[in-house]
Amino acid sequence: ETGVTQTPRHLVMGMTNKKSLKCEQHLGHNAMYWYKQSAKKPLELMFVYSLEERVENNSVPSRFSPECPNSSHLFLHLHTLQPEDSALYLCASSQADTSVDTQYFGPGTRLTVL
Amino acid sequence: TQLLEQSPQFLSIQEGENLTVYCNSSSVFSSLQWYRQEPGEGPVLLVTVVTGGEVKKLKRLTFQFGDARKDSSLHITAAQPGDTGLYLCAGGNSGYSTLTFGKGTMLLVSP
C-alpha cells in the first residue's frame, strides 16, 4: 500500500534536537491527520488539517508543530522533546466532505527520544 | 466524550480455530470501521459498516454492526497465522472528520 507514505520510518533524537516528520498522500484526499500511538493506549488524535487549514488541535504541547503546505503533504516539526514523547507517529488522510470518514494510514514513524 | 471498548484485549489461539472480537460503546456512531495493524506498520482498513444490523463478509472475516449502531463484532473463521495483528475499531460521525478509536484486540494465531 503506497497511498500514504511517511519518512523517516525510524528516528532517534536527543531532547535538544530539532527534526521533522514528513507525510505524503497520493489518494487525492482533502484532509490529513497526525496521530500518536503509545503502548496500551488508544490512538491519540493530535492535529487535523482540512483543505489545508488546521481544524483541530487536541491540546498538543507546543514542542510539536504541524505544517500543511498543500493537500498532499503534511509535516510534524519536533523540538525539545521529552522521553515520554517516544511513540509511533501515524499520518492519515481522508476525503472529508463525504458522509463516511474513512481514513487511510501511512506506515508510521517510530520515534525514540533519548 | 465518546468511548469504544474492545474485548478481549489479547487473544492467543491455534491455527484453524474460530474467534470473535467485540467493539462496544454507549454512544451511537454513523459508521464503524475495522483496521488491522501489524507490528511496526500503520493500520490497514478492513471494512466500513454504516447501517444498523449490517453484515459484511471479507473472505473468512465477518463484520456486524449492531442494530442500534453502538457496537460491532468481528468473527474470523479458521484463523491463520497471517491473521495475527492488532485489530482496531473506530467510530465515526457524519459531518465531522474525526474518528474515535478503541485500544484494540491483539490477536496471535500460532501454527
User: Which of B99, B100, B103, B106 is the best substitution to test chain A (most A C-beta atoms within 10 A)?
Assistant: B99
> Residue B19: is its pLDDT beyond 90?
yes
Which residue from A31, A33, A28, A29 is spatially nearest to A6, judged by alpha carbons?
A33
Q: Measured between CB atoms, does B46 come within 8 Å of chain A?
A: no
Residues 6+ apart with CB under 8 A from A14: A113, A114
Bridge partners for A76 per DSSP: A21, A66
Residues of B in contact with A90 (CB under 8 A): 42-43
> Residue B2: is its pLDDT beyond 80?
no
Alpha-helix runs per DSSP H in chain A: none
Give the pLDDT confidence score for residue B58 in this predicted structure: 93
Can you read off the three cell numbers belonging to residue A92?
492519515
Q: How confident is the model at residue B97 (pLDDT cuts 50, 70, 90)?
A: low
Question: Is residue A105 a contact partner of residue A38, using CB atoms and an 8 Å limit?
Answer: no
Q: Could you report the per-residue pLDDT of B43-84, keeping only the tens digit for each?
A: 999 999 999 999 999 999 999 999 999 999 999 999 999 999
Q: Could you report the per-residue pLDDT of A13-36, keeping only the tens digit for each?
A: 988 889 999 999 999 999 999 999
Q: Could you report the per-residue pLDDT of A58-111, keeping only the tens digit for each?
A: 789 999 999 999 999 999 999 999 999 999 999 999 887 776 778 899 999 999
Distance CA B86, CA B36 (A): 6
Give the pLDDT confidence score for residue A40 in this predicted structure: 76
